[in-house]
Amino acid sequence: MRQIILDTETTGLNARTGDRIIEIGCVELVNRRLTGNNLHFYMNPERDSDPGALAVHGLTTEFLSDKPKFAEVADQILDFVTGADIIIHNAPFDIGFLDAELALLGKPSFKEHCGEVIDTLVQAKQIFPGKRNSLDALCDRFGISNAHRTLHGALLDSELLAEVYLAMTRGQESLVIDMLGEHAAPGEAAAPRVRLESIELPVIAASDDELSAHNALLDDLDKAVKGTAVWRTQPAPAEEKTADAQNA
């Protein structure tokens, strides 16, 4: 599974009134692991940034004057994201700017080049309703250091968002499901199916030290979410669920 964490910096807030992309940063995840295969460009927008935007990103017109225009790097960006799922914080903003830039070049919309677009802001609002869910707030909530983030930067923000996304979606994964989901490559013989009911799996109880370490980790998660971690939530007994269904 290939995913790209993406962020942009722009000259202002409205692509429809002529604001342009001035920086793009893409961080690659493969099977939820950072690969180090990232993509980063500064771009000459051929216009000044609004004062408010300049105060956020600090990228001056002079600094950007010798950088490539979006048209010169568009194909490299599209080649990098093609087929991958895209992860963005507040996706409509970045997608809107990317679509505007691509429209100027007569190219299809951004979503036609990639897989699913995942909005971490939407995810965060579902997990932490009523709380601040900016990138800085999420870094603080998950204990991710952003002390070096004095100004917004597309690549730095993508790297921070990658850590936030992995922390926010961390969970147990099933080895059996992963194995059953594998497919033989073209020309290869399919692996023989295993009758799972014929396998006796050993049950290994956690040691006292392991239980202590587990509880310490849950304590840290409680502090991070300022509440009770989902792993401490007890499922309702089966008889209660049956009674609730009958009374519904």
The residues annotated with a catalytic role in the active site are 152
Please name every residue paired with 86 in a beta bridge, in sequence order, or none if there are none: 4, 117
Residue 73 CA to residue 234 CA, distance in Å, equals 51
Q: Are the CB atoms for 61 and 72 separated by under 8 Å?
A: no
Give backbone dihedrals phi and psi of 177, rounded to 5 degrees, phi first.
Answer: -65, -40
The helix (H) or strand (E) run that includes residue 219 is helix 208-225
Assign 87 to helix, strand or coil.
strand
- Of residues 156, 154, 118, the one with CA closest to residue 139: 156
Helix (H, G, I), strand (E, B) or coil at 212: helix
Q: Which two tokens stand for residue 110?
A: 């951004």
**Three-class secondary structure of residue 124 per DSSP:** helix
Burial class, 61, CB count within 10 angstroms (exposed 0-12 / middle 13-18 / buried 19+): middle
Give the Cβ contact number of residue 64 at 10 Å: 22
Q: What φ, ψ does residue 236 adopt, rounded to 5°?
A: -65, 140
